[in-house]
């Protein structure tokens, strides 16, 4: 079995350059996890260890999860695959016309329902926090996070336990303090979330 970093590299999902992240930060690495997740067998292989860790903690009574929720768009396939591996329902939150994360399409949560939020990549944890707010205002309880790639800056705290398939070091800079901008390396925005143009 290949490790997740190898699968990311072989699928072309790990890019190097100068990228504008959905958080607004700049980075020297970008993870286009959809390049890996387009292959169901590789998605299952990449997330197998995460599912096993979750299953073990659930069996030991350390974690109570009733459903897996992925923030759109990057978390949808991760949530689906973890739901499949764990035998749990999986659905997603998405942004409404105002940009707020919410539940739509008839998806519902029940008071006290235990939720695992699943992401492709966690950098700041902002989309997880936004999804948690949308779910917890409806009475659900977020118990943990899971992801393919944990690329947080050292010391960045999260509100819940994290189950990550891989941990990767990457440069993260605020736009005004970016080393790559100072070196004149062109900025690329490969993600799906709409952001203000660079420099605005």
pLDDT above 50: residue 90: yes
- For the domain bounded by 4-182, which CATH number is listed? 3.40.50.2020
CB-based burial label for 98 (10 Å; 0-12, 13-18, 19+): exposed
* Token reading at 75: 């978390």
How many Cβ atoms are within 10 Å of 175's Cβ, its own excluded? 15
Q: What is the pLDDT of residues 31-69, one digit of tens each?
A: 899 999 999 999 999 999 999 999 999 999 999 999 999
- Strands of 172-173's sheet in order across: 14-20, 26-31, 172-173
Most confident of 15-19, 30-34, 96-100, 132-136: 132-136
Give the closest residue to 159 by CA, choosing from 196, 131, 188, 187.
131
Q: What is the pLDDT of residues 136-191, one digit of tens each?
A: 999 999 999 999 999 887 778 899 999 999 998 888 888 899 999 999 999 998 86
What span, in angstroms and rounded, lies between the C-alpha atoms of 75 and 80? 8
Give the closest residue to 181 by CA, choosing from 27, 32, 30.
27
pLDDT above 70: residue 199: no
Residue boundaries of the structural domains of the chain: 4-182
């Amino acid at each position: 079995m290949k490790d997740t970093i190898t699968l990311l590299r072989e699928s072309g999902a790990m890019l190097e350059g100068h990228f504008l992240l959905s958080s607004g930060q700049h980075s020297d690495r970008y993870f286009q996890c959809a390049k890996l997740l387009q292959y169901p067998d590789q998605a299952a292989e990449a997330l197998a260890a995460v599912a096993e860790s979750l299953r073990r903690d659930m069996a030991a009574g350390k974690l109570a999860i009733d459903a897996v929720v992925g923030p759109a768009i990057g978390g949808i396939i991760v949530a689906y695959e973890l739901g499949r591996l764990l035998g749990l329902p999986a659905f997603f939150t998405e942004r409404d016309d105002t940009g707020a994360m919410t539940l739509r399409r008839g998806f519902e949560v029940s008071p006290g329902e235990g939720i695992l939020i699943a992401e492709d990549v966690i950098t700041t944890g902002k989309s997880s926090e936004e999804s948690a707010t949308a779910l917890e205002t409806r009475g659900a309880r977020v118990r943990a996070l899971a992801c393919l790639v944990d690329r947080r800056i050292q010391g960045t705290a999260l509100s819940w336990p994290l189950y990550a398939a891989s941990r990767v070091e990457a440069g993260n800079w605020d736009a005004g303090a970016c080393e790559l901008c100072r070196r004149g390396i062109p900025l690329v925005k490969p993600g799906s979330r709409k952001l203000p143009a660079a420099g605005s």
